[in-house]
Amino acid sequence: MTMLVGCSAARVEPPAFDGQRAFAYLVKQVELGPRVPGTAAWEQARALYYSHFQSLGIVVDSQVFEFFDPYSRSVKPLVNVIARVKGSRPEGPPILLVAHYDSRPRTDFHSDPQRTTDPLTGANDGASGVAVLMELANLFAAKPPESDIELLLVDGEDWGMEGDTDHYLLGARYFASRGIHGKYRLGIVIDMVGGKDMQIFREVYSERYNKPLNDMVWEAAGRLALPAFRDSVKHVVLDDHLPINAGSVPAIVLIDFDYEYWHTEKDIPQNCSAGSLEQVGRLLAEIAYNRSLWPDK
């Protein structure tokens, strides 16, 4: 993959991304309760997503599947949600924007050692990425980008116990297993993108395997003067970009892995920021509306 150099296409100004409205979507998800697969809050969250996308005239699809949970020795349901945005002048396959909507079924680092089995509300770890995609859907409905965009909300990202890497990323693994080679131009995963004092660095696997895509993101962040984006490499992260890459779609992850409330009971809206959501939303809007920025195949 090489970068397009000297492209003469005029820049398209995206609609304004409303960070406050995105923050309201974050709060609304958290108010449902922990979005642990199989629970009422998990079902209600999905109904919220369907209602939101469909109200904008966006077609929504589901991938329903099951997995055997080794911890409870039982079969669990999972559901991926796919919102398909039609472009005004599509050329080639769509781009894929991804966030996980499930919250963790345990609080690994609870301040009370007796409560580590409490489920997380997941304000930043899950709800933040979905909130950004929900607000982007508002932009896409008001002013369709030229290219098709798919918004993928994956389930079961955070199921695994610490050290058990086989039971994380369940929704993304299933999605990739359905044959995605050639179906998407590129993928960008966002995770933990709402914390106060957010810092997003280039992630190691993203930089190693898809540096042109990373370069595009950080060059755009520089042009937009987004202070949360730090142009250096830090953190090796197991996230949904890995199965998508394994499915032969170039993908990277944007994640604030220095978020101090990760997997604690303090991952709540009060420790999140509309401004952080807005930075990520503005960046993704810039990319979605300006395909001249995309790395060449």
Q: Would 178 be classed as within a structural domain?
A: yes
pLDDT in tens, the chain (297 residues): 334 444 457 999 999 999 999 999 999 999 999 999 999 999 999 999 999 999 999 999 999 999 999 999 999 999 999 999 999 999 999 999 999 999 999 999 999 999 999 999 999 999 999 999 999 999 999 999 999 999 999 999 999 998 899 999 999 999 999 999 999 999 999 999 999 999 999 999 999 999 999 999 999 999 999 999 999 999 999 999 999 999 999 999 999 999 999 999 999 999 999 999 999 999 999 999 999 999 986
Q: Would 85 be classed as within a structural domain?
A: yes
pTM: 0.96
Amino acid 207: pLDDT: 98
What total number of domains does the chain contain? 1
- The domain of 215 spans 19-290
Amino acid 162: pLDDT: 87
Strand order in the sheet with 187-191: 59-69, 74-85, 149-154, 95-100, 187-191, 251-255
Amino acid 184: pLDDT: 98
Identify the CATH number of the domain in which residue 188 sits: 3.40.630.10
Q: Would 136 be classed as within a structural domain?
A: yes
Which tokens is 250 given?
């170039």
Written in H, E and C, the secondary structure of the chain is CCCCCCCCCCCCCCCCCCHHHHHHHHHHHHHCCCCCCCCHHHHHHHHHHHHHHHHCCCEEEEEEEEEEECCCCEEEEEEEEEEEECCCCCCCCCEEEEEECCCCCCCCCCCCHHHCCCCCCCHHHHHHHHHHHHHHHHHHHHCCCCCCEEEEEECCCCCCCCCCHHHCCHHHHHHHHCCCCCCCCCEEEEECCCECCCCEEECHHHHHHCHHHHHHHHHHHHHCCCCCEEEEECCCCCCCHHHHHHCCCCEEEEECCCCCCCCCCCCCHHHECHHHHHHHHHHHHHHHHCHHHCCCC
Q: Would 91 be classed as within a structural domain?
A: yes
Amino acid 296: pLDDT: 86
Q: Would 9 be classed as within a structural domain?
A: no
Q: Would 218 be classed as within a structural domain?
A: yes
Q: Would 11 be classed as within a structural domain?
A: no
Q: Would 13 be classed as within a structural domain?
A: no
Is the separation of the CB atoms in 8 and 259 below 8 Å?
Answer: no
